[in-house]
Amino acid sequence: MNIQKLLFLVLLSLLTGSASAQPERPVRCAPGNQDASCVGVLYNPPQVAPTCSSSAGWVTVTPAQWIGSRYSTPVCNYTPPPTCPPSSTQTGSPNWNGAAWTGLQCQANSPPSPLATSAGNAGSYGYFTTKLSAAGSETFVINTDGTWAVQRSGFQSNAPRSSGNPTSGTWTTDATQAYEYTITAASKGLGTVTPSTTTLTWTAMANLAFRASTPGGGVPEGDGTWTVNIRQKGTTSPVLTMTFELDVANGD
């Protein structure tokens, strides 16, 4: 074999070995050989625009808007149903027409019932005894049930001197109304008097008790005078102004 033929065979062997040593080309989309075209198609369900409540009283100020990737939140406003003022009674319910409430019906409450004549006649009440150093008291009560009365205690039941009529009465015939009161005068003589101060701010009506008493001994007398005003709550004029005096004496 000549030199040229030998060199050719050696070169051919080297070329063949080099070609067989190269790695196989990976299959497209196999691990390590992927691009964006290899993944599946992604789908999102359609988005529904949020809305305001359709219940009565709700209105849409600004509807939801598409802002590229989602809907914005709508602007909603709620208006509660109207109510009647405290001085009236609801006789018809309001209706929602989609934009406003309509149809509310109110009826003004009746004014306070007329007062009994006896309430206006409340005046001076005295209770006396000849028993020296006796302790006793006299109480004028105004009750939330619409009654008033004079209560006496501590003296002999057959005390010879007493004054003031009537000793009970009715200041209203409708105790279901809400009333309030003030005490615009409260004066004190001897003895113990309660309350001894005024209440000038209108206050929710409660059972009221005004008392004058004497402990006896060196304090022979208890004396107090009050002026009480009562009105229906929410009004501006008193329905009753009552001035009365309590005078107790033990004969010392």
HEC sequence for 97-161: CCCCEECCEEEECCCCCCCCHHHHCCCEEEEECCCCCCCEEEEEEECCCCEEEEEEECCCCCCCE
- Nearest residue to 64 (alpha-carbon basis) of 78, 79, 52, 54: 52
Angle (nearest 5°) at CA 227 between 143 and 149: 35
Partners of 107 in beta bridges = 89
How many helical (H) and strand (E) elements, i.e. helices and strands, does the chain have? Answer: 2, 17
- Which residues sit opposite 240 in a β-bridge? 230
pTM confidence score: 0.52
CA distance 164 to 128: 12
Local structure of 230: helix, strand or coil = strand
**Which residues, other chains included, contact 201 with Cβ-Cβ below 8 Å and sequence gap of 6+?**
182
pLDDT for the residue numbered 1? 53
CA distance 100 to 91: 19
Q: Is 24 exposed, middle or buried (0-12, 13-18, 19+ CB in 10 A)?
A: exposed
Residues 6+ apart with CB under 8 A from 235: 87, 111, 112
pLDDT at 81: 94
pLDDT number for residue 125: 74
pLDDT of residue 252: 52
Helix (H, G, I), strand (E, B) or coil at 31: coil
Question: For each of the chain's 252 residues, which pLDDT tens digit applies?
Answer: 566 666 666 666 665 655 455 556 667 787 777 776 777 766 678 889 999 999 999 999 999 999 988 899 999 999 999 999 877 889 999 999 999 999 999 988 765 554 544 455 456 777 666 566 778 888 899 999 988 888 888 766 555 566 777 888 888 877 888 889 999 989 887 778 899 999 999 999 999 999 988 877 767 788 888 889 888 887 776 677 888 888 888 765
Tokens of 220: 């022979």
